[in-house]
C-alpha cells in the first residue's frame, strides 16, 4: 500500500547524472582535440576505479550494490576528476585520487547525498598537495602522438620537458613573481586572444555544456551567475587599479577551472548551498577566494580549495538564508496570528 | 475589474487527463438496493440520529441532527425504510467504521414536503441555521460546514468572495461538468453568498483547460448582468485550485497557515457548494446528492449524479471497472486517499473515484538517497524546503521539522511528484505530523495529570494547615499553663505527654502495615532481571524527584 501522489514525473537520479555526463562531452572533446587522447584513458581509469570503489564500499556497508552503481553518481565524480587532472599523469595517481574521493570523500560520510565535500575537488586537492610537480605538467598544444601519451599514462619513461609546459595561470604566476608585468607575460605563445591559447576554447566548451544543464533545469542560474559575476567583479576591480599586476577579467573567466567550476563543480547539489540566496553567497565566495589564491596564493589556481572551504560553510549558509514560507513573507494585516 | 493576476511559486504540470470523463454528460445513477449514509460526513460534531431502525423515511428528511453549531445535518436521499443504524466501513484510508444509517429505498422516491423559506427576507443568522439544517458543507473536499464560513465576522463585510472552479487535480471533472451544466444556478448561489458576506466583488475562477465551462459561466454572468461578479480564467498549474493558492493568484494575498482568509477580507467556496446553497435556499433541497467523477482504469469514464450513501462498488459497476485494477482511490492522483473497501459509501467529500492499474499509476520505484537537488523546493507551492523537512522527519527531529514550518505543508504532493530519488516525501510529512500530534496529546495528558497531582498535594497540605490552625486556636482558647512563655511550649509539652500511648499505637499499626506491604511487594519483585530492577530504581528515583518538585512548586496560599 502506498499513498498519494500516485503520479510521478518521469525522472530519476540516473537521468540527472547521465545528463551531466552528456553536458561534459563538448569540453572533453575540446580537450582531446587540443591536448591529445590521454584524457580518454584517464577517464577510463578513473571510471573503472570509481565503480570498483563504489561497489566495494556498498557491499561493505551492506547496501544494494547494483541499484546504487546504476545511479551514475560515481561516474560523474570520476569524469570530473579526470578532466581536472593533467592528461599525462601516471595511472596510479588517478587511482589514488579517485579512490580517495569515493572511499573517503563519499562513502565514509554515508554515501550518496551525505558527503559534505565535493569528492572531485577532494581528489584534486589530495593530488596537488601530494604531487605538486606532476600536477602542474600539462602537455603543450602541439601535442604528441597517441602512442607516446598512452605509454606515459601507463607508466613509461617520461621525457617531460619535450611535451609538457606550464598552464597559462602557472606561466602568469611565474612571470609575475619574476617581476614581469602582465602585458609582457601575455606575449608568450602560451596565451591566446583572451586567456591561454586553447584553454579559452576549453572554457567556452564548459560554458556550452553548462548552458545545456541550465536549459534542462538540472542546475539553476544562481551559482554560475554569482560565480562568474563575482570573478569578473573582483578581477575587474583589481585590473582597473593595476593592470600591470593583475590579469583582465576575461583572462580570469576563461583560464583554469573558472568555467568548469561555475557550471559543474560548485553546482554539485549534495555539497553546495540549496537556497536561492545561499547559492548566490556560496558561489560568489568561491569565486572571491579562488581569485585571491590565484592573485596572492601559493597555487596557480584556487577553485578546488575555494570550493572545499565553502563546502564547510554550507550548513551555516543554508540556515541563514532560508526563504520565507508562503504566508509568512509579510506581517499579517491584523499583526496577529503567528 | 480584475486586470492583474498574481502567481504562486512552484507547482507542477501533470497531464490533466480530463477529456475522457467529459465526453458524456452527467448521468443520473439509479438507486442501489441499500444506501449507507454516514452520520459524520463533515468537519465538526457527529450528528445525532433522528430515526430508529424500522422507521420509514422520505426523500430529503433529516436523519441526523447537527451536534452544536460546528456540525451539519444529514438527510435521507430517497424514501424507504431504515434497516440498521450501526458502524459501517467509511471511505477512508484507515478502513475504519463509523456510525451510519442504512436505508432500503422503497423505489417510490417520495419527497418530504418542503417548508418554504423566504431567504430574501430572512436575517443572515436564520439563513445560516437553515443551511446547517440543510446539510450544506464544502464540496471541494474539505467538507467544512458552509454556514460557518458565510459570516463576514467582526468587520461586517468582505472584500472578495472567491468561487473556486479551478479543479486542478488531474482526472477530476465533476466541477467542470457542473459549471458546463448549471452555470446560472452556480452564479445565483454565489450572489446569495455575496449578500451574506457583504462582499464587494465575486470572482468565479477556473483553470484555462476548461474552455467550455468558462464560456458557459461567462454567458451566464452576462445574463445576470451583475457588475460585481466576474469570471476569471487562471493559468493551469497544479495546485492552482488549492484555496490559498487561488486566493494568491486572484488577489495577491497570502493567507498564512493557521489564519483564516476572512481576516484578510477573502472567503472561498467551491462551485458545487455555491450550487448547493442555491438549491437549499431557493428549492428547499437538502444536500443529498452530488456529482462524482469515475475515471482511471474503467471502461466508461464519466460523471455521475449520485445519491450520497451509494456504495462505491455501484459506481464502478456503472463505469465498468477493468480487471487489472490494483487499487482504488478517492480523489485525484495527487492527493487522493487509497480506498481499502469498495463497499464504502459515497460521502459529501467524494469528488472523484479513481481506479488505478500498474500501467496507469506505476508503483513507486525504490527510494534512493536525497541528493539535495532542490527540485522539491522549486515545486513547492508553500515555499517550503521539502528536503529539509524530509531530513528532519526521517531523523525524527520533529522540533526542527516544525522550525522549517512542517505544518505549512498542504500535502499537495508536488515535491514527491518531481523527486528524482523517488522519495515518498509526503508520507514522511504525514508521519512527522501524526507523531507531533501524538506527542502533544501525550504531553497534554501528562500536564493535566501533573496538575491534578499537584492540586491534590496542595489540598492535603491545606487541610493539614487548617487542622493545625484549628488545634492551635483550641489550645489558645484553653487557660494557659504558663502565660509568660506563650502557647508554643504549652502545645508541645502537654499534648505530647497526653498523646504518648496514642502515638505508640499508631506507630505500631504503621509498622505492621509497612511489613505487610513489603511482604506483598516482595512477591512481585522476587524474580526480576537486573534490567527490570534498574528500571524500578529509576522509576522510584523519578517519583521521589517529582514529589520533591511538586512539594516546592505547590501553591502556598
| Each residue's pLDDT tens digit, A27-74 | 999 999 888 888 999 999 999 999 999 999 999 999 989 888 889 999
Check CB contact under 8 Å for B334 and A5: yes
* 3-state secondary structure (DSSP) of residue B330: strand
DSSP assignments along A139-206, one per residue: EPTT---HHHHHHHHTT----HHHHEE--HHHHHHHHHHTT--HHHHTTSTTB-SSSBTTHHHHHHHH
The sheet with strand B48-49 has its strands ordered as B48-49, B62-65, B74-75
Please indicate, yes or no, whether residues A93 and A232 belong to a single structural domain of this protein: no
Residue B260 bridge partners (DSSP): none
User: Same domain, yes or no, for A174 and A159?
Assistant: no
- Residue B544 DSSP SS3: helix
Residue linked to cell 560553510: A313
* Residue positions counted in chain B: 557
Chain A residues with CB inside 8 Å of B409's CB? none
* pLDDT higher at B400 or B493: B400
C-alpha B154/C-alpha A35 separation (Å) is 77
CB B169 within 8 A of CB B273: no
Give the residue from chain A lying closest to B257, CA to CA.
Answer: A327
Residue A241 shares a structural domain with residue A117 = no
> What is the pLDDT at residue B148?
93
* Nearest residue of B to residue A336, measured between CA atoms: B259
Q: Are residues A116 and A221 in the same domain?
A: no
Better-scored residue on pLDDT, A19 or A191: A19
**In this complex, do A7 and B264 lie within 8 Å of one another by their Cβ atoms?**
no
Boundary (domain end) residue, out of A133, A165, A197: A165
Answer whether A277 touches B (CB < 8 Å): no
Q: Are residues A16 and A151 in the same domain?
A: yes
Is some CB atom of chain B closer than 8 A to the CB atom of A333? yes
Q: Do A193 and A309 belong to one domain?
A: yes
Burial zone of A155 (CB within 10 Å; 0-12 exposed, 13-18 middle, 19+ buried) = exposed
Per-residue model confidence (pLDDT) at position A237:
96
Q: Which of A7, A270, A334 sits opposite B333 (nearest CB)?
A: A7
Most B CBs within 10 Å, among A4, A20, A57, A114, to test the B interface: A4
Q: How far apart are CA A235 and CA A224, in angstroms?
A: 16
What is residue B248's three-state secondary structure?
helix
Mutate to test the interface with A, among B159, B260, B362, B373 (most CBs of A within 10 A): B373
Q: Are residues A28 and A126 in the same domain?
A: yes
User: Which of A113, A324, A328 lies at the smallest CB-CB distance from B369?
Assistant: A113
CB A7 to CB B170 under 8 A?
A: yes
Q: Is B512 exposed, middle or buried (0-12, 13-18, 19+ CB in 10 A)?
A: exposed
Residue B1, pLDDT score: 61
- The pLDDT tens digits for B422-451 are 999 999 999 999 999 999 999 999 999 999
CA distance B435 to B132: 34
Instruction: Note whether B394 contacts A: Cβ–Cβ < 8 A.
Output: no
Which residue of B263, B381, B426 is in closest CB contact with A4?
Answer: B426
**Average pLDDT, rounded, for chain A:** 88
- Give per-residue pLDDT as tens, B39-71: 998 888 889 999 999 999 999 999 999 988 899
pLDDT at B526: 58
In a domain, A1, yes or no: no
What is the pLDDT at residue A164? 60
- With both helix axes pointing from N to C terminus, report the angle between B487-525 and B425-477 in degrees, rounded to the nearest 10: 140
Is the pLDDT assigned to residue B17 strictly greater than 60?
yes
Does residue A16 sit in the same domain as residue A82?
A: yes
Contact A325, A338 (CB under 8 A): no
Contacts with A113 from chain B: Cβ below 8 Å: 369-372, 421
Domains, chain B, in order of start with CATH, read 124-319 (3.40.50.11540), 364-477 (no CATH)
Q: Please write the tens of the pLDDT for every residue from B181-238.
A: 999 999 999 999 999 999 999 999 999 999 999 999 999 999 999 999 999 999 999 9
For residue A248, being part of any structural domain is answered with yes
B81 vs A66, higher pLDDT:
B81
Contacts of B63 (CB under 8 A, 6+ apart): B37, B49, B50, B51, B57, B74, B75, B76, B82, B101, B103
Q: Domain for residue A233, yes or no? A: yes
Instruction: For residue B5, give the C-alpha cell.
Output: 493576476
- Identify whether A230 is preceded by a cis peptide bond (ω within 30 of 0): no
Check if B465 contacts A (Cβ < 8 Å). Answer: no
pLDDT-derived band at B480, boundaries 50, 70, 90: low
C-beta atoms of B364 and A2 within 8 A: yes
Distance from CA of A98 to the nearest CA of B (A): 20
Q: Work out the pLDDT band at A167, boundaries 50, 70, 90.
A: confident
| A220 shares contact with chain B (CB less than 8 Å) | yes
Lowest-pLDDT range of A144-158, A197-211, B12-26: A144-158
pLDDT at B490: 45
| pLDDT above 90: residue B541 | no
Which of A326, A331, A338 is the best residue to mutate to test the B interface, defined by the most B CB atoms within 10 Å of its own CB? A326
Q: State the residue range of the domain holding A82.
A: 10-165
pLDDT at B522 over 70: no
Check whether B468 has a pLDDT greater than 60. Answer: yes
Residue A320 contacts B where some CB pair is shorter than 8 Å? no
User: DSSP secondary-structure letter at B524?
Assistant: H
Q: Of B345, B394, B388, B333, give the one whose Cα is nearest residue B367.
A: B394
Domain boundary residue, one of A165, A188, A223:
A165
| Confidence band for A261, pLDDT divided at 50, 70 and 90 | very high
**Which of the residues A1, A2, A3 would you substitute to probe the B interface, choosing the one with the greatest number of B C-beta atoms within 10 Å?**
A3
Residue from B366, B368, B409 to probe the interface with A (highest A Cβ count within 10 Å): B368
| SS3 category, B520 | helix
The answer to whether A246 and A291 have CB atoms below 8 angstroms apart is: no
| Per-chain mean pLDDT for chain B | 89
- Residue at A334 is within a domain: no
- Of A248, A246, A207, nearest in space to A224 by CA: A207
Question: What pLDDT does A249 receive?
Answer: 92
Query: What spatial distance separates the first Cα and last Cα of chain A, rounded to whole Å?
Result: 37
Instruction: Pick B244's closest partner by Cβ from A8, A220, A326.
Output: A326
pLDDT over 50 at B175, yes or no: yes
What is the SS3 assignment for B450?
helix
Residue A292 lies in a domain: yes
Smallest CA–CA separation between A322 and chain B, in Å? 8
Residue B188 · residue B221 · CB < 8 Å: no
Report CB contact under 8 Å: B334, A67: no
Instruction: Please give the residue of chain A at the shortest CA–CA distance from B383.
Output: A325
| Cα B397 to Cα B255: distance, rounded to the nearest angstrom | 27
Interface contacts (A, B; CB < 8 Å): 157
Choice among A194-198, A200-204, B295-299, B372-376 with the minimum mean pLDDT: A194-198
- pLDDT of B487: 47
Same domain, A88 and A176: no
Of the two residues B511 and A109, the one the predictor is more confident about is A109
Polymer length of chain A? 338
Residue A332 lies in a domain: no
Q: How far apart are CA A90 and CA A156, in angstroms?
A: 8
Q: Give the residue on B whose Cα is nearest the Cα of A1.
A: B338
What the block records as the C-alpha cell of B128 is 445560516
Q: Which three cell numbers stand for residue A106?
A: 563519499
Question: Using one digit for the tens of pLDDT, what is the confidence trace for B123-141?
Answer: 989 999 999 999 999 998 8
Residues A174 and A300 in one domain: yes
Is A241 among the domain residues? Answer: yes
Query: Which pLDDT value is given to residue B489?
Result: 47
pLDDT digits (tens, 9 = 90+) for B240-259: 999 999 999 999 999 999 88
Number of domains in chain A: 2
Evaluate whether B20 touches B263 at the Cβ level (below 8 Å). Answer: no
How many whole angstroms separate alpha carbon A257 and alpha carbon A266? 11
Confidence of residue B513 (pLDDT cuts 50, 70, 90): confident
Residues of B in contact with A318 (CB under 8 A): 388
Claim to verify: residue A140 and residue A210 sit in the same structural domain: no
pLDDT at B543: 78
Q: Which cell numbers in the block locate residue A128?
A: 596537488
pLDDT at residue B556 in the model: 41
Whether A153 and A20 share a structural domain: yes
B336 touches A: beta carbon within 8 Å: yes
**ipTM of the prediction:** 0.88
A266-293 pLDDT, tens digit per residue, is: 999 999 999 999 999 999 999 999 999 9
> Which of A150, A165, A180 is the endpoint of a domain?
A165
A331 in contact with B at a CB cutoff of 8 Å?
Answer: no
Give me the pLDDT at residue A168, please: 75
How many CB atoms sit inside 10 A of residue B383's CB?
Answer: 20
* Structural domain includes residue A84: yes
Backbone angles phi, psi at B277, to 5 degrees: -65, -45
At A300, is the secondary structure helix, strand, or coil? coil
Q: Which residues of B touch A333 (CB under 8 A)?
A: 263-264
pLDDT at residue B20 greater than cutoff 60 = yes
Amino acid at each position: 500500500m502506498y499513498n498519494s501522489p500516485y503520479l510521478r514525473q518521469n525522472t530519476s537520479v540516473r537521468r540527472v547524472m547521465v545528463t551531466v555526463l552528456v553536458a561534459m562531452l563538448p569540453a572533453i572533446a575540446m580537450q582531446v582535440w587540443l591536448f591529445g587522447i590521454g584524457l580518454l584513458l584517464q577517464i577510463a581509469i578513473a571510471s573503472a576505479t570509481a565503480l570498483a570503489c563504489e561497489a566495494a564500499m556498498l557491499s561493505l556497508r551492506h547496501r544494494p550494490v547494483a541499484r546504487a552503481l546504476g545511479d551514475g553518481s560515481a561516474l560523474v565524480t570520476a569524469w570530473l576528476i579526470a578532466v581536472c587532472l593533467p592528461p599525462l599523469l601516471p595511472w596510479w595517481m588517478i587511482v589514488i585520487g579517485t579512490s580517495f574521493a569515493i572511499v573517503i570523500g563519499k562513502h565514509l560520510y554515508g554515501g550518496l547525498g551525505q558527503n559534505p565535500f565535493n569528492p572531485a575537488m577532494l581528489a584534486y586537492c589530495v593530488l596537488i598537495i601530494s604531487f605538486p610537480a606532476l600536477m602542474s605538467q600539462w602537455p603543450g598544444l602541439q601535442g604528441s602522438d597517441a602512442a607516446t601519451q598512452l605509454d606515459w599514462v601507463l607508466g613509461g619513461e617520461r621525457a617531460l620537458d619535450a611535451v609538457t609546459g606550464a598552464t597559462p595561470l602557472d606561466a602568469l604566476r611565474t612571470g609575475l613573481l619574476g617581476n614581469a608585468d602582465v602585458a609582457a607575460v601575455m606575449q608568450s605563445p602560451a596565451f591566446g586572444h583572451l586567456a591561454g591559447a586553447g584553454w579559452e576554447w576549453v572554457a567556452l566548451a564548459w560554458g556550452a555544456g553548462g548552458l545545456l544543464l541550465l536549459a534542462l533545469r538540472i542546475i539553476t542560474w544562481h551559482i554560475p551567475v554569482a560565480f562568474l559575476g563575482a570573478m569578473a567583479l573582483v578581477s575587474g576591480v583589481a585590473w582597473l587599479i593595476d593592470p600591470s599586476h593583475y590579469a583582465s577579467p576575461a583572462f580570469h573567466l576563461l583560464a583554469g577551472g573558472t568555467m568548469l567550476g561555475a557550471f559543474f563543480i560548485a553546482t554539485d547539489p549534495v555539497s553546495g548551498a540549496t537556497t536561492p540566496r545561499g547559492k548566490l553567497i556560496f558561489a560568489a565566495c568561491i569565486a572571491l577566494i579562488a581569485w585571491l589564491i590565484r592573485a596572492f596564493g601559493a597555487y596557480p589556481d584556487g577553485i578546488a580549495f575555494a570550493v572545499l572551504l565553502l563546502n564547510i560553510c554550507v550548513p551555516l549558509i543554508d540556515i541563514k538564508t532560508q526563504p520565507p514560507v508562503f504566508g509568512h513573507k509579510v506581517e499579517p494585516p491584523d499583526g496577529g496570528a503567528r | 475589474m480584475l486586470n492583474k493576476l498574481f502567481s504562486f511559486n512552484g507547482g507542477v504540470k501533470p497531464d490533466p487527463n480530463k477529456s475522457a470523463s467529459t465526453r458524456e454528460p452527467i448521468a443520473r445513477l439509479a438507486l442501489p438496493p441499500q444506501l449507507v449514509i454516514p452520520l459524520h460526513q463533515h468537519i465538526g460534531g457527529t450528528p445525532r440520529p433522528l430515526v430508529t431502525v424500522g422507521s420509514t423515511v422520505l426523500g430529503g428528511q433529516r436523519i441526523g441532527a447537527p451536534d452544536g453549531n460546528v456540525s451539519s445535518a444529514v438527510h435521507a436521499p430517497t424514501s424507504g425504510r431504515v434497516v440498521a443504524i450501526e458502524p459501517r466501513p467509511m471511505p477512508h484510508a484507515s478502513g475504519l467504521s463509523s456510525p451510519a444509517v442504512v436505508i432500503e429505498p422503497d423505489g417510490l422516491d417520495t419527497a418530504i414536503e418542503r417548508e418554504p423559506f423566504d431567504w430574501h427576507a430572512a436575517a443572515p443568522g436564520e439563513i445560516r441555521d437553515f443551511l446547517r439544517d440543510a446539510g450544506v458543507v464544502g464540496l471541494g473536499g474539505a467538507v467544512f460546514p458552509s454556514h460557518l464560513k458565510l459570516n463576514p465576522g467582526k468587520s461586517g463585510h468582505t472584500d472578495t468572495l472567491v468561487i473556486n472552479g479551478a479543479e486542478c487535480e488531474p482526472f477530476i471533472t465533476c466541477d467542470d461538468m457542473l459549471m458546463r451544466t448549471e452555470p446560472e444556478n452556480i452564479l445565483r448561489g454565489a450572489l446569495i453568498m455575496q449578500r451574506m458576506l457583504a462582499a464587494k466583488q465575486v470572482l468565479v475562477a477556473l483553470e484555462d483547460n476548461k474552455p467550455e465551462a468558462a464560456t458557459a459561466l461567462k454567458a451566464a454572468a452576462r445574463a445576470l448582468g451583475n457588475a460585481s461578479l466576474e469570471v476569471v480564467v487562471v493559468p493551469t498549474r497544479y495546485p492552482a485550485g488549492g484555496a490559498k493558492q487561488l486566493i494568491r493568484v486572484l488577489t495577491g494575498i497570502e493567507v498564512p497557515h493557521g489564519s483564516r482568509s476572512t481576516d484578510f477580507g477573502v472567503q472561498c467556496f467551491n462551485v458545487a457548494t455555491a450550487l448547493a446553497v442555491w438549491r437549499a435556499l431557493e428549492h428547499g433541497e437538502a444536500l443529498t446528492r452530488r456529482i462524482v467523477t469515475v475515471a482511471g482504469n474503467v471502461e466508461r469514464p464519466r460523471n455521475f449524479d449520485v445519491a450520497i450513501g451509494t456504495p462505491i462498488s455501484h459506481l464502478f459497476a456503472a463505469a465498468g471497472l477493468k480487471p487489472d485494477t490494483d487499487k482504488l482511490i478517492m480523489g485525484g492522483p495527487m492527493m487522493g486517499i487509497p480506498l481499502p473497501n469498495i463497499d464504502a459509501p459515497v460521502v459529501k467529500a467524494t469528488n472523484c473515484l479513481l481506479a488505478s492499474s500498474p500501467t496507469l499509476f506505476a508503483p513507486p520505484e525504490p527510494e534512493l538517497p536525497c541528493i539535495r537537488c532542490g527540485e522539491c523546493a522549486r515545486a513547492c507551492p508553500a515555499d517550503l524546503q521539502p528536503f529539509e523537512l524530509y531530513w528532519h522527519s526521517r531523523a525524527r527531529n520533529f522540533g526542527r521539522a516544525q522550525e522549517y514550518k512542517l505544518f505549512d505543508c498542504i500535502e499537495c504532493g508536488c515535491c514527491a511528484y518531481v523527486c528524482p530519488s523517488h522519495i515518498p516525501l509526503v508520507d514522511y510529512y504525514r508521519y512527522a505530523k501524526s507523531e507531533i500530534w501524538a506527542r502533544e496529546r501525550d504531553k497534554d495528558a501528562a500536564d493535566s495529570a501533573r496538575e491534578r497531582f499537584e492540586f491534590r498535594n496542595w489540598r492535603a497540605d491545606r487541610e493539614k494547615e487548617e487542622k493545625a490552625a484549628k488545634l492551635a486556636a483550641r489550645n489558645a482558647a484553653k487557660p494557659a499553663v504558663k502565660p509568660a512563655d506563650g502557647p508554643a511550649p504549652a502545645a508541645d509539652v502537654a499534648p505530647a505527654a497526653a498523646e504518648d500511648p496514642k502515638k505508640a499505637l499508631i506507630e505500631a499499626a504503621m509498622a505492621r502495615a509497612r511489613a505487610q506491604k513489603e511482604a506483598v511487594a516482595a512477591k512481585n519483585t522476587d524474580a526480576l532481571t537486573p534490567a527490570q530492577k534498574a528500571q524500578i530504581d529509576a522509576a522510584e528515583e523519578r517519583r521521589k524527584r517529582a514529589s520533591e518538585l511538586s512539594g516546592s512548586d505547590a501553591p502556598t496560599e
